[in-house]
Each structure stands twice: as C-alpha cells, then as structure tokens.
Amino acid sequence: MSLPLDRQIARVAFWTTVTLATYFVGTTVYSLLFAAKDPQPRQLCLHVEGFTNCPYFQRSAQLAKAVSDADTDAFGEASTVGWTRDDWQATRKAALWANIPAAKVRGHTTSPFVWVRECSPGDVKKDASVAFEKVHFIGGNDDFHEWNDERPSAKK
C-alpha cells in the first residue's frame, strides 16, 4: 500500500530539509573549528642586513623604513640588522647565502642584503626563523632603490 501523493511529497520535502540543514550546520561548524585562519592581514616585510658603518646599508635601512612607513597597508615593519664589519665578513654573509639561495646564485657578497617576504605583523618577533621563509631576494642598495622605483605604488 502506498501513501497518498501529498504525503509522499511532504516526506520528500521533510528529508530534503533535514539533509540540507545537516550539511550547512556541519560545514559551518567545521569551518569554525578546523579551517586554517590567519588572524592578521598578510603584508610584505622588507629585511635589510649589512655592516653598520656601511653607507649603502644605512641608505637601504632608511629606504626600507620610509617604504614601510609610507604604505602601512601593503608593508609591515621593516627589519634592519646591522653587524660589525668583522662579523659581517667572517660569518654573516655565509649565513645569508645559506638562508637566501638566490643571493648565492646571483653571487651577491656586498653589504647590504635586501629581501622581501610575505608576513604577518610581529611574526619575526615570535619566531625569527620566519624571516627566511618565502623570500624574494632583491639584492644590494642599488637593486633595492631600483626595485622601489619600479613599484606601482611608488610611482604615484
């Protein structure tokens, strides 16, 4: 014995509603609990390393600060690390070559090393190793100024 047509339609409508509600509740709960979230907006962070008394390092450090201060939506706080000339020559260049393969490929050895990467505000302060993740090596002081001149927002 079959149910009247209007009861069959009502039963199909009921189970369709239950199925859809279960799906939407389930996906909402999953996205709230398990989906990867980035609580901070992504920006670009500039990094400048060199020996402190080098005038090219100082110019690049000033430019990095100016760029990050002028365009706070696109750029996070610039990171500038200065070394003594002896420390720079003895160990730091080799360490940067190890962490930034493009610098080694290009044969860059002079102060400063300038690179940019995607970042979240304060991430380097939490974990310094992230300074070398997804790096785009810019080069030295001249390369950095040229890179800055070519940026669309710098041309305004």
**What Å distances lie between residue 116 and 14, 48, 49, 82, 113, CA to CA?**
56, 9, 12, 17, 10
Three-state DSSP class for 114?
strand
pLDDT(1) > 90: no
Query: What are residue 139's DSSP bridge partners?
Result: 114
Tokens read off for 4: 């009247």
> If you ran DSSP here, which 8-state letter would residue 71 be given?
-
pLDDT of residue 30: 58
In this prediction, residue 138 has a pLDDT band, given cuts at 50, 70 and 90, of very high
Cα-flanking dihedrals φ and ψ of residue 153, to 5°?
A: -75, -20
Question: Over the stretch 28-83, which tens digit does the pLDDT of each residue have?
Answer: 655 555 555 555 557 888 999 999 999 999 999 999 999 989 888 788 888 899 99
Confidence (pTM)? 0.69
